[in-house]
Amino acid sequence: MLSHRISLLLLPVLSSLPRAHAQDPEDLTGLTLTGTITDGGDGDVIPTGTTVSYADLESTIVLSTATDGTLLGTTGALETSLADANGTDSDSTRTSSSSQELTFLVGGQNTATSISGNATASANATMTSSSTSTSPVPTNVRPCNNYPEFCFRKYSNITEVCAHNSPFVRQNNAASNQYYPVTDQLNDGIRMLQGQIHYVNETLLYCHTSCDLLNAGPMEDYLTTVADWVKTHPYDVITILLGNHDQVDVSLFTGPIQNAGLSRYLYTPPQIPMGLDDWPTLSDMILTQKRVVFFMDYKANQTKVPYILDEFSQLWETPFSPTDPDFPCTVQRPPDLSDEKARDRLYMANHNLNVEVSFSGETLLIPDTANIVDTNAVNGSSSLGAMTDECTANWGRPPNFLLVDYYSAGNGSVFEVAAQANNVSYDRECCGTSSGGVRAAVMPPLTGSHPKLAVVFVAAVVSMIACIF
């Protein structure tokens, strides 16, 4: 295999030194990108070749859930998670101190939760009570994914913000895609985490294009951090999307997932594919504590590992790694998906604008940070808001996921776009606040009006050494 060693120095020219969205401009004295690019190995382009395949399911495959327990859970699972979140021993005897919390969620699959008096919540999340009951029907005040309205909505009927390449947080590295680490991302409202996995020395690593360019560490370490957050947030449902860069067998992923403590929360769907009406509500998932949906783009096998979902059997995407600021809302993957099927599937709007860097025939896509605030904005010709509106007009409903770089650029604008799509109000503080409510000691995000950060290639030092492996 032919590879090239590349060292690229990007020197930004700053006009009036505004506060940057990806890094503080005072730190932007130079972004150095070093590493190895193998021929045809750009991880930000769609893989091609005989090894790439997409499932074309003409009929529904029913999966067994007896061993997984996803559809057989009871409110005891939520009590266990509440105990874990409060730091108590999950194996100890628990009282029904969480009954008030269950009142607000009301219902779930195969559950009949006692509420108060003679009122009960039936499995279809409707309220019933005896004729002698004087108890008022409770209204939901417990937020699910930050909004009480979401508790009764299906997973397929909510728009969430996705952090593109969530683990890639490196200052002064042009291959980074986010500013804040994953715990901050989740605290701020990110509910889908996407990242690219490489298999190196029998270890699954989060790497961007090449592990020499940006190596964010083992998948297991990252998922452990995510599992810790999930454990302490029992009313939140998140989604993880893995890019299987080296297209290794799905069985290699089960060990890191289990070791991270995430497997107990993974949702197993009852069938393949899942239509929009087949997905459970958030309250169903919360009451059974199956609150993590785990997708993989290539080489998933749900009959072998049912909790790692084949992305393109369940979800389609708009053009991937776009360099076109018009952001067309058309189906790119899976190819040849019929319009009828597309309208009954989840879908993701890829809204991360890239710049292509080319040297001697090799290319690398990096985030267009010069225009990131406009890209993430609520309004504007190339804004996230404009793309969401176009998608809604084209497909009759908003995207389920809005994939963005540097979600913090725009002071929460990406969450405002999602809130508008969900017909709710966004009033949270963004971004990177600590648990104490104090903003982390880093640069404040840019607002919509700001001087442009003009990134110009003043100097580029490229050294390429060809070697044969």
> What does pLDDT average to over the chain?
75
Higher pLDDT, 215 or 63: 215
pLDDT score, position 45 = 53
Q: Give the list of residues 6+ apart from residue 296 with CB closer than 8 angstroms, or none.
A: 241, 242, 244, 250, 253, 308, 309, 310, 311
Q: What is the mean pLDDT of residues 241-247?
A: 97
pLDDT score, position 419 = 99
Instruction: Give residue limits of the domains in the chain.
Output: 141-422
- Which CATH superfamily hosts domain 141-422? Phosphatidylinositol (PI) phosphodiesterase (3.20.20.190)
Q: What is the mean pLDDT of residues 244-250?
A: 97
Nearest C-alpha neighbor of 378 from the set 325, 450, 425, 448:
448
The yes-or-no verdict on residue 16 having pLDDT over 80 is no
Residue found under tokens 């080296």: 246
Q: How do residues 156-166 score in pLDDT, each as one tens digit?
A: 999 999 999 99
Higher pLDDT, 68 or 339: 339
Question: How sure is the predictor about 49, in pLDDT bands with cuts at 50, 70 and 90?
Answer: low
Q: Give the list of residues 6+ apart from residue 336 with CB closer than 8 angstroms, or none.
A: none
pLDDT score, position 11 = 36
pLDDT score, position 5 = 41
Higher pLDDT, 164 or 322: 164
The yes-or-no verdict on residue 31 having pLDDT over 60 is no
Report the C-alpha gap between 79 and 98 in whole angstroms: 7
DSSP string, 156-201: GG--EEEETTTT---TT-TT---SS-HHHHHHHT--EEEEEEEEET
pLDDT score, position 24 = 39
Q: What is the mean pLDDT of residues 23-52?
A: 44
Q: How do residues 107-123 score in pLDDT, each as one tens digit?
A: 444 333 322 333 333 32
Q: Residue type at 406?
A: Y
Which positions are annotated as active-site residues?
A: 164, 208
Greatest CA separation for the chain:
83
Q: Are 163 and 186 in contact (CB under 8 A)?
A: no
Q: Are 342 and 312 in contact (CB under 8 A)?
A: no
Sign of the C-alpha dihedral, residues 278, 298, 222, 444? negative
The count of other CB atoms within 10 Å of the CB of residue 171 is 13
Q: Give the list of residues 6+ apart from residue 64 with CB closer than 8 angstroms, or none.
A: none
Q: What percent of the chain has pLDDT over 70?
A: 62
Nearest C-alpha neighbor of 28 from the set 12, 40, 42, 44:
12
Q: What is the mean pLDDT of residues 129-141?
A: 53
pLDDT score, position 173 = 83
Q: How many alpha carbons fall within 13 Å on the CB side of residue 239?
A: 28
Question: Distances in Å between the alpha carbon of 166 and those of 216, 254, 445?
Answer: 10, 20, 18
Q: What is the pTM of this model?
A: 0.74
